[in-house]
Amino acid sequence: MKLHQLAGKPALKSMLDNIPRLVASYYTLKPSGPVSFGTSGHRGCSTAGTFNEMHIAATAQAICEYRASKGITGPLYLGFDTHALSEAAFRTALEVFAANQVNVVIHAKDEYTPTPVISFLILEYNQGKTKGFADGVVITPSHNPPRDGGFKYNPPQGGPADVEVTGWVQDRANQLMNSGDSHIKRMPYEKARQAGTTRAQDFITPFVDALAQVIDMEIIQKQGVRIGVDPMGGSGVHFWGPIAETYNLNIQIVNTDVDPTFGFMTLDADGEIRMDCSSPYAMANLIAMADKFDIAWGNDSDFDRHGIVCPNGLMNPNHYLSVAIWYLLQNRPAWPKDLAIGKTLVSSSMIDKVVAGLARELYEVPVGFKWFVDGMLNGTVAFGGEESAGASFLRKDGKVWTTDKDGFCMTLLAAEILAKTGKTPDEIYRDTLIPVYGEPYYKRVDGPITDEQKKVLKDLTPDAIKTTTLAGLPITAVMTTAPGNKAAIGGVKVVIADGSWFAIRPSGTEPKMKLYIESFGGEERWQQIHDEAMPLIFAGFEGR
């Protein structure tokens, strides 16, 4: 993909989304497509007819029916982020939930709610219960552009719903959409707010108070770590003040703006406004301030992702995951030694080497945090991480913290690492990990995808690849399922003799193809793999 001429620069006013039109389209346009749950929930845009009032009403009604079918009778925690369509979808969902007499708990004073907070609240409520479990809904399109909306369901295990659950909800929602709205129960919004089943609660205090159970706040405070935080206009914007006050941390919030156009953002690589805290272009504002802090970070709109900025710049997400795992396995003495470390199979193989070097078990799964949920819930997986800068881990005592990605614990961990070791995570990666395990060259390339290419990837089997070499080295593995749980990866991963690899899969959130490449032969081998990967997979298949 060609780098946009304004990448890393402020967005022009002419590039900002028309918010009144977005919201009006949500209420007035008929859907032009079905409800479709991707990697994590349904996403779309109101002006494109893919995220409209009927989509949300039908999905909310389907969730009510799913809860009833499974005997889920506890509260449903309902939160929304700062995207323009999120509050509109929140109102629609509450109208449906209240009409179905679902006990709904919302954040007091119409505050925004980060994804990990919903997971935390669900798990806290369900602790020790044998019936009457809670679940939740987070209304967010994550880091997607301002024009997009998103709606995701977290069942009682607290994390993203698995494919069986999302398939049921998706299919029922589309049945309801196709049969009109006569089977969808609703009541006026003001009546839903005043319903006896709707209750407002402070979500900030219990989450903030519990953070010390997962992060060593005392050592961060004691060392006086100077921290810079950019909430990037996201749902955690009002959490950092209470965190700093509660634990007496030296935190400077560099941007407190909330703006549905996200006009304060710098443009991503493709010229889009995208709150991607793993992108140096989207994070350009904070990177420019890096030398003012010992450590700094940003988060995406629903705070389930993290971007760690050291004085020398933004860390590669894979590098930070590797350091976080290295540090945690040596600084959580209460964690049992038999706990596995989870990673998605498109994350760096540096993680494999770190885990093996510390004599721990690796649990490698397809893309999607939902694959870590059961293991983190039952205490067999200590850490789950994705290359796209999303991760979470257990409390210090080895008990579950969240079963969804948590941008709070992952960023605060960077400050703990610095306070405890005297080195930034980037210094540890370069001075400690690279000398032992080598230096991989990792880069992801995104591009368009055709329907034919999607079909090829969906139907691909390992024995369909007849070529035996790649970049001049023997191919040692072709995978269409993940080693850890044998689940389909939605694409293919090819590994060669020196440990280098590539993987191709369709995006679960946007209409594009993602090509991941990691080379242990430097940038030159990376380029060789890049040039040969697409022909290797698609030559001879397309057009059939």
Span 390-415, pLDDT tens digits: 999 999 999 999 999 999 999 999 99
Strand, coil or helix: 82: coil
**441-538, superfamily in CATH?**
Alpha-D-phosphohexomutase, C-terminal domain (3.30.310.50)
Say if residue 77 is exposed, middle or buried (CB neighbours under 10 Å; 0-12, 13-18, 19+): buried
- Of the two residues 540 and 106, the one the predictor is more confident about is 106
User: Domain coordinates of the chain in residue numbers?
Assistant: 17-202, 207-367+409-436, 441-538
**Integer CA distances (angstroms), 217 to 8, 208, 230, in order:** 33, 11, 19
- Tell me the C-alpha distance between 397 and 333, whole Å: 8
Residue 254: per-residue pLDDT: 98
Average pLDDT, the chain: 95
Q: Taking 80 as the threshold, does the pLDDT of residue 124 lie above it?
A: yes
Residue 153 has pLDDT above 60, yes or no: yes
**Can you tell me the distance from the alpha carbon of 153 to that of 138, in angstroms, rounded to the nearest whole number?**
7
Question: Which of the residues 25, 142, 322, 349 is marked catalytic?
Answer: 142
If we measure between CA atoms, which residue out of 493, 535, 471, 15 comes closest to residue 263?
A: 15
Distance separating alpha carbons of residues 153 and 42, to the nearest angstrom: 9
Question: What is the pLDDT, as a whole number, of residue 1?
Answer: 62
Q: Do domains 207-367+409-436 and 441-538 have the same CATH topology?
A: no
CB environment 162-198: b (16+ within 10 A), e (fewer): beebbebbbebbbebbeeeeeebbbbeeeebbebebb
Whether this model's pTM surpasses 0.85: yes
pLDDT of residue 543: 44
Residues 6+ apart with CB under 8 A from 184: 57, 58, 61, 96, 176
* Helical pair 407-421 and 115-126, crossing angle rounded to 10 deg: 90
DSSP letter at 148 equals E
Average pLDDT over residues 67-93: 98
**Superfamily (CATH) of domain 207-367+409-436:** Alpha-D-Glucose-1,6-Bisphosphate, subunit A, domain 3 (3.40.120.10)
Does 539 score more than 90 pLDDT?
no
Structure-model confidence comparison of residues 518 and 544, the more confident one: 518
Assign 205 to helix, strand or coil: helix
Strand 76-80 and strand 295-299: the pairing is: unpaired
Q: For residues 494 and 462, is the Cβ–Cβ distance under 8 A?
A: no
What is the C-alpha to C-alpha distance for residues 363 and 382, in angstroms, rounded to an integer?
A: 10
The amino acid at residue 216 is D
Selected from 3.40.120.10, 3.40.1280.10, 3.40.50.10140, 2.40.100.10, the CATH number assigned to the domain covering 17-202 reads 3.40.120.10
3-state secondary structure of 147: coil
Residue 213 pLDDT exceeds 70? yes
142 included as an active-site residue: yes
